[in-house]
Structure formats: C-alpha cells, structure tokens
Structure 1
Amino acid sequence: MELDDAKEKQREGSSLSEERSPSALGQAFSKILHSLTGQEAQRGNARDVALKELSALIEATECDRLFEGKGDPPCGLLEMLGQMAKALEKYAAPPKEKEGGDDGHSQVAEKASEVGLLFLKLLGKIDAAKNSQVCPAWEPGLRHLAGPIYVFAVTHRFEKPWTSRISQDIAGRVLTLLLRVTDCSSVAGFLRGENEDEKGRFTVVMGLLRPQLNKESWKNNPAIKHVFSWTLQQVTRPWLNQHLERILPPSLLISDDYQTENKILGVQCLHHIVLNVPAADLHQYNRAQVLYHAMFNHLYMPEHRLIQAVLLCMLDLFPILEKAMHWKEDATRPTSRCEEVLQLILTHMEPEHRLLLRRTYARNLPSFIKRLGIRTVRHLKRLERVIIGYLEVYDGPEEEARLKILETLKLLMQYTWPRISCRVVVLLKALLKLICDVARDPNLTPESVRNILLQEATDCLILLDHCSQGQVKSLLAKILLSCEDRMVVSCVRKVQVSNSTPNHGT
C-alpha cells in the first residue's frame, strides 16, 4: 500500500510525501512525534489524530522501508522509531499521584490499550521481516524499539491502579511478542542474554529508567519503582554484580522514602542484591556497611510488614558482614552485627502489645538463635524474660507467636544447656502454666493447634529435664498425684518416661 493510501484514511490529512523514501518516512514520523511531544500534545484531539496517523503509517509501510537504515543522517529513521517508541511509552505512563484527587487512571488504561496495539503492529512488522528474511535491517530497528516497548509492557502488565483487564491483556501480548521476536525464552533471558557470550538488554532498560530514578523525579511516575523492582528481580547471579553501580542507588533511594509501601519495596530490592551479588563486591567501597545501616534504621518503625522484610534481608546480610570481622585469639570476641540487631529486637519485644508485631518478632527469633549459636548466652537473661512474657499471652487461633517462642526456647536450651540448670524452676513454671492454659480453654484454640502447642511444650519440658540432669522429673512427680486434668497428666507422663541423659553434643 502506498503512503498516499494511508493519507486517505485520515480525517485530517497529513503532509506525507508520495515518494516512498526514508526521508519522506522520516518527515512523517517527525511530524507525528512532534504532535505527541510538542506543545500541541496537550490537546487530546491532536494526540488522537497523531496516533491514528501513526497506526495507518505503520500499516501502509512495508518492513523493508520501515527499517531501512539509510538516509540523511544514516540510520536516522531507525533512531526516529526509537524516539517514537519512547514518546508512546511516556504517553501511556500514569501521571504523578495527587493527594485526595482523581489520578485519571481510567484514562491511562485507555491510552495504554491504544499504545499497546501500536506496539503490536510494530513488533508484527519485525516478526514478519524476520521470518521472511527479505528485510535484513529489522535487527537494528529492534535494538531501538526493544527497551521502550519492554518498559511499557511491564508498566501495564500487572494489576495496578492505572491498569484495566484490557490494558493488562494487551501489555501481556506485547511482552510475549517482544520475547518472541528477540528469540528469548523468558524475561530473564531478554535482560541478561540467553547465552553467556550474548549481551542482554538490562543496561538499555536501566538507561531508560535511571533518569526517572533520582531524588527529584522518581515519584513523578508511580509505575517506575515497580518496573525497576520487577526488572531487577529477574536478573540473578552471576549477571547482576556487573550492574551494581546502576541498581544500588535507586534501591537505597526507594527504601529511604517516608511511605511504608516504598520502604518495603526498596528493602526487597536490597535483599535481592544481597542474595545475588558476591560478598567481595559488597565489601568494596563499604557497601555492605551502608546496606546494614540503611536496614537498621527501619527497625525503629512499628510496621510489621516492614520489620519482616528488613529482618529477612539482614539475616542474609550477616554472613557477609561477619566475613570482614577480625579478632585476636586471646581477646574478647567483638559484638557482631547480628547481636546488635538481636539486642534491639529484644528491647522492642518486651513491651510490645500489638499482636502483628509480636508475631513478626517471634517468627524471626529462631533464625537469630541459629545464627548466633553459643553466642546467644550473652543475651540469655533478656531472652528468658521475653520467652516467659510471650508464653503467657494468648495469640489467637493459630498461636503463631507462642509456637515460635517454644521453638526459640528449644534452640536456646540446645545451644546454652550448661546455663539452663539454674533457670529450671522459672522455665518449668512458665511451661506448666502454658500447658494448663491451653488444656483449660479448648474453645479458644482449634484442636489441631492445641495438640501442636501441647506437644511442643512437652518437648521443651523433656529438653529442660535433660539440661538439668533429671530435676524436672522430680519436681513433676507430685503433679501426677494431685492433677485431674487429662491433658496435663498426659504431658507430664511423657516427660517422666523420657530419657534424661543430657545432650552434651549440642
């Protein structure tokens, strides 16, 4: 189809040249690009006409003309296509969020659907050229288009306030077709390269995202943080470390925001970096310490989702930090970062009354005990107070906090058993009180959870008896004579028949 045929399809005719040359196409694209990015782009009618003209132009132009790298300047048409793709991606991007106002998300979804259809046409041209092998210049054209099209697809692919089912479906089709024409089996392959000797497109994508990921502008587009986070998490080791300078500053910037949602997103990005960048690279320029201090400051926020994300990240960061620690054999072992965090957690746990935070702290406490091992003995007094206090409080039907505290107590006795014998009476009272509370209130807790609680408490009593060379058995002997509760008696009998040999191998 000739270019003048495309002109006849438009309500408002365009000044396209009848000569099918790269310069004529360049002028046509330049006019449309100006309509999308210039001052007249503020008028909705002008942009609608420009998009219709672009759609007709893509349909009317054969791929050998569309991706021809000749002209003045060389490859100017291909560069114009890349600029056009960038303009379309920005046109469909969600606007800056406004407090207490309409963000126009429904209009964004409509724009995204329209732009997505244009990208499908462009990628369709490339796919046809690739399969027919008539137009060898499709590959340079794809290099200019792939980055902006990818950013568009990820922006609108998932359920967000600015997307609709239609826009999500179209964006998904765009992403699928993009992977097909680039011969990539997955998004990860698209970003890092399918083969070891193949250069991926992560650098190109970050080049498009980074200008928007600075302190002044990263909130102008509410989608940019999600595109960055999702893209980052597709690239793993050993490919990620070469991009560390590009990804670390934006991750720290997002995690340092005042909004909890952004803090969590930034922490998740930092956690991915910790997991997928070698320790040597994180030690360079003191990056690991920067990460630690950024995480540590978040522990003062009373938000359970943020605390959970931070603690998971820190538990993976501790081995990296401890590799850099050195101490003399005859000197006192210095306090590690893990111990510093445990001290702060215990400080927050003692007075905490909010159930969600209590569960979050209790959920992660066993991992800290495992990480510190015998060094937990330094914090034994505070751990004892926290354990006893948490065992006294009902935690809802699932009893997550009390179950995790029982797990913590078992680990604590295994690692610090020589120090447990002097605490037998205190811990025995706390465990017996827990067993009696659970046995007397069957309606508050489901039977399956109640059975697990009683079993875990009984295991703790058995372990406590092992640590005290049988003291618990003698203290429990009179209970069998006076107690009438079937569940309590059952737990006590299990302790009485257990082997009381202490496990000195732990």
Structure 2
Amino acid sequence: MEPDSAEETAREGEGCLGDLGQAFSKMVHRLSDREPRRASARGDALKDLGALIDATEWDRLFEGSKMLEILAQVTKALEKYAAPSNEEAGARGGHSEVAGKAEEVGLLYLKLLGKVEAAKKSPLCSTWKADVSHLAGPVYIFAISHSLKQSWTTPRSQEVARKVLTSLLQATECNSVAGFLCGENEEERGRFPVVIGLLKPDLNKESWKNNPAVKHVFSWTLQQITRPWLSQHLERILPPSLLISDDYQTENKVLGVQCLHHIVLNVPAADLLQYNRAQVLYHAIFNHLYISEHCLIQAVLLCLLDLFPILEKSLHWKGEAVRPTTHCDEVLQLILTHMEPEHRLLLRRTYARHLPAFVKRLGILTVRHMKRLERVITGYLEVYDGPEEEARLKILETLKLLMQYTWPRISCRLVILLKALLKLVCDVARDTNLIPEPVKKALLQEATDCLILLDHCSQGQVKGLLARVVLTCTDSTVVNCIRKVQQNPVDASVLGI
C-alpha cells in the first residue's frame, strides 16, 4: 500500500533494507505515472521522497549495489519528471509549470548529493564511489537542461539547477564539467559514455523532438569535449549531430551544424576520412547553402572553411595537368551566385564576412572565379551597408587579397575597378550623417590601399589616370586619397614578384 503522508514514508525508511528499497521503488512508480489525473499524486510523491531521504542515514542509503540501482532509477525518474515536453515548452503557461517542477526536483537532488558528501567522509566511501556515475548521469542531464536559458526555465529554476551542477562536481571530485565528462586524468574514465547512453533513446528520428531539452543538453555537452577524447566517441555523436542538422527548422539546423563543426575541429582528419565520413559531412552541410537564413549561412561557412583542409588532404597536384577543382571552388561558385542578386543586408554581410577566407584558401586559383568576383565586388561597393559598413569593408579586404594573388589578371580590369573605387571614395567623402567618422576613415584607408595595389598591378597606369582627376576635383578628402596614391612608388615586390 502506498504511503499517504511524509510521516508514513519516513517510517518505511526505518525498516530493513528490503523495506527501504521497496519504499524508493514505489516512489519511482508514482513519479513515472504520466496520467493527467495523477499529476497531484506525483507532486505528493516528491514531498514523500524528500522526507524519505531526510529520514534515511547515508550508510543505509548507499548500502549495497541493489540500493544503488534503485537510487539510479529514482534519479532517472526525477529527471524525466522535470523534463519539458514539446507541448509544455510551446504553451504560454507551460514553461512556468516545468520551471516549478525543476525547482522541486533540484532541491531533492541537492538533498541526495548532501548525503553523498556525508558518505565521502566515511572510511566506507570506496564501496560506493565506483558506482556513483549511475546516479551522476541523470543529475547531470537535469542540471544542464534547466541551467541554460530556455523557454521552459526561469531565473529561479536556473539558479537551482546551477547549484545542483556545482554540488554534483563537488560530489564526484571534478574541477570542471570537462573533467566530469572526460576524466580528470588519463587513468580515470569520464562519465560521457553514461550521459550519452542516457540521452541515446531520446536522440533517434522518432523521439528526439518529444523533449526539447535533449538537443540542447547533447549540443552543450558535446562542446565540452575536445581533443583527444572526442574521437573515441565519434560513432555515438555523429548520427545525432547529422539528425539535428537535417531538421526543417532553422534553429535546429544551426544547432546541428555547430555540433558538426565542433566534431570537425576536434576529431583527427584520419578518423574523419575513414569510411568517407568527411564527404558525408560535406554534402550534409553544403545543402544548407541553398537556405537563405543568415544565421545558418554563418554557421555553414565557418564549418566548411575548417572542413576544406581535411577534404583536400589527399589532393596532390603533380604539375603536368590542370589542377582539379576542389570543394572550396564548388562552394565559392555557389555563394558568389547567391551574392550577386542578394538585397538583404544581413545576408550580404554574412557572405562578405567570409569571402576573404575563400580567396586566401584558393590563392592564385581564385582566377577561376574572376568574372563573378568582379561583378560582386563592384556591386557591393556601390551599396551603403549601415553605420558599421561591414560588408563594404570586407569586400575591400577581398579586393586587396584578390589583387595580391591574381595580379597578372588585374590590369585588364583596371578601368572597371578604378571607377568602382573612385565612386566609393567620393560617396564616403560626401557623406555627412550616415557613416560614423571612425568607419569613414577606415573605408577611405582601405579604398586608398586598394588604389595603390591597383597601381602596382598596372605598372603605374593608375597614377596617370588620376592626374586628370586631381585637376578638376574640389573635394579635399578625395584629393588627399589621390595624393597618397600618387606619392606611393610602384613596387613590384609588394605583389611578390
């Protein structure tokens, strides 16, 4: 018969070990009841459980492997009880209900971890220390689920969850979350396998959206594990990361790509090339470039730029034939195609932000994309980009790199590039309100540097063309820029000739 009050529950704890285990087992059953009509009964079960933990001495609480197994079931049941469902996370009042549950469960975890702290001071500590990971896994998942700022958390529930995490690290004698997951030293086995094992049932195609906290716990936990520990868990972490990134919601796509990026950065290239994993990653990430969401494009381009060296590790040009096109070529061609007609400022800035890295990556092979790059550069230099002028500054940086790497192909584009740069200088010089003074100086300096480089690429032709402009120009800012170009001697060594 189930206990009806905290006093009866506490009295059950005074019996033999079998009675104690039975009392905790009943608590698991009551907490696991998902019927709406039993919601109040589950709330009562929390109070009874708190009284039972208070009334039981630590030596009886951790006595024997059977009792530890039952306590592991209790911690799992508590974590599931406080976990948000999709309906609760999306409902207007659902998040407050979840936060309330989290506060209650967090306080119970703190009581249980307090018993662990008391047990650590005893000579019998070694008998249960090896098995504490069975209790630690669910407690960790709870703490991460509710300590991060989410729709189902409140400042109070976050505070309680953080206290639980701090107590958990103290109880397991870990200095950090990374130490908890990977082990504090090479001899000690970390608890990440336990955590990922608990998350795995909720990380498959059918169930991963039932609990919206799972993806955040997985992602946050993954970010804590770096080289050399991550590679040994590759088979466990890669499928969930691909699954999350393949979702139709942009938020999940970004989260999944960030997980994949962390894997790319922290798993050796040899492991990623094995079984064609790197190609699988590339195709999964490349497809996201067709989705016009600036936050997703940002995550995708960052990931791809770190993936290129791995994919191209086995490519060796022997010199007797045309160099084969690379994955970097394929991506640059696509983003230039998207950049040309793009009118949304956030996307323009995102594309422009990463364009210099692609030119650096390809070097002289950027000549394959010269025509499209020329159109993108001249088009983007014409458009005001807001007070920070991030896009135009990045486009000027791209142009400087382009001239340094492909200088033999620049002289035939002299007139087009010169007109675009002069127009930019004049527009910026005439601006009185839109562009802050520091940004204006940076734009003029970058444009002047580009004019100087253009003069080097054309063997001094720019100076001759600008000589006529000085005679008719009345704007002192423009004249100062032209004077700097004229006073700079042509130096082929600037271009590495």
Report if aligned partners of 1:67, 1:141 keep a CA contact under 8 Å in 2.
Answer: no
Q: Deviations over 1:284-318 (max 9, x none)?
A: 11000011001110000010010000000000000
1:452 aligns with 2:442: yes
Structure 2 vs 1, CA of residues 467 and 378 (structure 1 numbering), >3 Å: closer, same or farther? same
Q: CA deviation at 1:20?
A: 3.4
Q: State the SS of the aligned residue for 1:68.
A: coil
| Contact 2:89–2:212 (CA under 8 A) maintained in structure 1 | no
Q: Among 188, 194, 200, which residue is 1:204 paired with?
A: 194
User: In 2, distance between residues paired with 1:40 and 1:398?
Assistant: 55
Retained in 2: the 8 A contact 1:130–1:138? no
- 1:53 aligned to 2:43? no
| Structure 1 counterpart of 2:58 | 63
Which residue of structure 1 lines up, in the alignment, with residue 215 of structure 2? Answer: 225
How far did 1:24 drift?
Answer: 1.2
Quick one: distance in 2 between partners of 1:18 and 1:462?
Answer: 85
Output the CA distance in 1 between the equivalents of 2:93 and 2:256: 24
TM-superposed deviation, 1:37: 1.4
Q: Is the 8 A contact 1:126 1:181 kept in 2?
A: yes
**1:34 correspondence with 2:25:** no
- Counterpart of 2:225? 235
What is the identity, as a one-letter code, of the residue corresponding to 1:433? K
Select 1:433's aligned residue among 419, 423, 433: 423
- 2:38 aligns with 43
1:251 to 2:246 alignment: no
Would the alpha carbon gap of residues 67 and 141 (structure 1) be closer, same or farther in structure 2, given more than 3 Å must change?
farther
Deviations 1:401-448 (A, max 9, x none): 110000000000000011111111111111001101111122121111
Deviation, structure 1 residue 132 = 3.4
1:146 to 109, 113, 136: 136
Query: Aligned partners of 1:239 and 1:59: how far apart in 2?
Result: 39
The correspondence for 2:332, drawn from 336, 342, 362, is 342
Residue of structure 1 equivalent to 2:496: 505
Aligned length: 495
Corresponding position: 1:415 with 2:416? no
Instruction: Identify if the C-alpha distance between structure 1 residues 374 and 97 changes in structure 2 by more than 3 Å, giving closer, same or farther.
Output: farther
| TM-score (norm. length: structure 1) | 0.95
RMSD, aligned CA: 1.8
Conserved? CA contact 2:336–2:372, under 8 Å: yes
Q: In the TM superposition, what whole-angstrom CA distance separates every residue of 1:19-77 from its partner, at most 9, and x where no partner exists? A: 532211111111111111146685122112211111111111111110011xxxxx221
> What SS does the aligned partner of 1:162 have?
coil
Matches of 1:436 and 1:160, distance apart in 2:
48
Give the Cα separation in 2 of the matches to 1:98 and 1:335. 50
CA distance in 1, matches of 2:90, 2:425: 51
Deviation larger for 95-104 or 267-276: 95-104
Contact 1:26 1:77 in 2 (8 A): yes
The amino acid of 1:54's aligned partner reads L
Q: Is contact 2:82–2:101 with CA below 8 Å preserved after alignment?
A: yes
SS of 1:43 mapped into structure 2: helix
- Displacement of 1:395 in angstroms is 0.9
Q: Name whichever structure is richer in helix by fraction.
A: 2
Distance in 2 separating the partners of 1:102 and 1:444: 41
Matched, 1:172 2:131: no
Cα distance in 1 between the residues matched to 2:28 and 2:21: 10
| Structure 2 residue 388 is matched with structure 1 residue 393 | no
Distance 1:266 1:380 in 2: 33
How far the C-alpha of 1:136 sits from its partner, in A, is 4.1
Written as runs of structure 1 = structure 2, the 5 A alignment for 1:301-380 is 301-380=291-370
- Cα distance, 1:118 vs structure 2: 0.5
CA contact (8 A) 2:10 2:51 kept: no
Q: Could you say which residue in structure 1 is the equivalent of 2:461?
A: 471
Partners in 1 of 2:39 and 2:326 — Cα distance?
Answer: 60
- Alpha carbons of 1:40 and 1:24: their partners in 2 closer, same or farther (altered >3 Å)? farther
- Counterparts in 2 of 1:18 and 1:130: CA distance versus 1, 3 Å: closer
Cα 1:251–1:40 shift into 2, 3 Å? closer
Consecutive unaligned residues in structure 2, runs of 5 or more: none
Does the aligned pair in 2 maintain the 1:15–1:28 contact within 8 Å? no
Distance 2:126 2:491 in 1: 79
Say yes or no: does 1:181 pair with 2:176.
no
Q: Is the 8 A contact 2:85 2:211 kept in 1?
A: yes
Q: Distance in 2 between matches of 1:116 and 1:172?
A: 9
How far apart are the structure 2 equivalents of 1:426 and 1:140? 72
Structure 1 residues 166 and 277: alpha-carbon distance in aligned structure 2, compared to 1, 3 A threshold: same
Q: Residues 120-148 of structure 1: CA distance to partner in whole angstroms, max 9, x if unpaired?
A: 01100001110233554341452220000
Structure 1's 40 and 338: CA in aligned 2 closer, same or farther, altered over 3 A?
Answer: closer
Please say if residues 89 and 151 of structure 2, whose CA atoms lie closer than 8 Å, have aligned partners that are also in contact.
no
- Say whether the 8 Å CA contact 1:109–1:167 is kept in structure 2: yes
C-alpha spacing 1:180/1:41, structure 2 compared with 1 (3 Å): farther
Provide the rounded CA distance (Å) in 1 between the counterparts of 2:307 and 2:10. Answer: 61
1:486 to 476, 488, 494: 476
Q: Which amino acid aligns with 2:155?
A: R
Q: Classify the secondary structure of the residue corresponding to 1:257.
A: coil
- Write the distance in 2 (CA, Å) between the matches of 1:113 and 1:339: 52
Matching of residue 281 in structure 1 with residue 268 in structure 2: no
In the alignment, residue 135 of structure 2 is paired with which amino acid? L
Q: Is the 8 A contact 2:451 2:485 kept in 1?
A: yes
Conserved in 1, the CA contact under 8 Å of 2:203 and 2:240? yes
Q: What's the TM-score once normalised by structure 2's chain length?
A: 0.96
Q: Distance in 2 between matches of 1:18 and 1:357?
A: 63
AA partner of residue 55 (structure 2): A
1:457–1:399 distance in 2 versus 1, CA, 3 Å: same
Deviation string, structure 1 residues 247-269 (Cα, Å, up to 9, x no partner): 00000000000000000000000
The question of whether the paired residues in 2 share the 8 Å contact of 1:109 and 1:164 is answered with: yes
Maintained 8 Å contact 1:435/1:457:
yes
Q: 1:22 aligns with which of 7, 14, 17?
A: 17
CA contact 2:6–2:51 (8 Å) conserved in 1: no
